Amino acid sequence: MTTNNEQTIINEVIAGNTNAFASLVDNYKDLVFTLALRMLKNREEAEEVSQDAFIKIFKSLNKFKGDSKFSTWVYRVTYNTCLDSIKKNKRSQAHVPIDEFTEHHIKTLDNALDIMEQEEKKLAIQKCLQLLPSEDSFLMTLYYFEEQSLDEISKVTGLTANNVKVKLFRSRKKLAAIFSQQLEPEIIESYGKAFR
**Residue, of 86 and 110, whose pLDDT is higher:** 86
Residue 94 belongs to some domain of the structure:
no
Residue 11 belongs to some domain of the structure:
yes
Degrees to nearest 5, angle at CA 66 with 35 and 73: 15
CATH of the domain at 108: 1.20.140.160
Residue 181 belongs to some domain of the structure:
yes
Q: What's the number of domains the chain is made of? A: 2
When pLDDT is cut at 50, 70 and 90, the band that residue 81 belongs to is very high
Residue 60 belongs to some domain of the structure:
yes
Q: What is the mean pLDDT of residues 147-160?
A: 90
pLDDT digits 0-9 by tens, 10-32: 999 999 888 899 999 999 999 89
CA atoms within 13 A on the CB side of 143: 21
- For residues 94-105, one letter each, b for 16 or more C-beta atoms within 10 angstroms of the residue's C-beta and e for the rest, the string is eebebeebeeeb
Shared domain for 128 and 165, answered yes or no, is yes
CATH of the domain at 52: 1.10.1740.10
Shared domain for 144 and 73, answered yes or no, is no
Shared domain for 123 and 170, answered yes or no, is yes
Shared domain for 154 and 186, answered yes or no, is yes
> Which domain covers residue 114, as residue numbers?
103-193
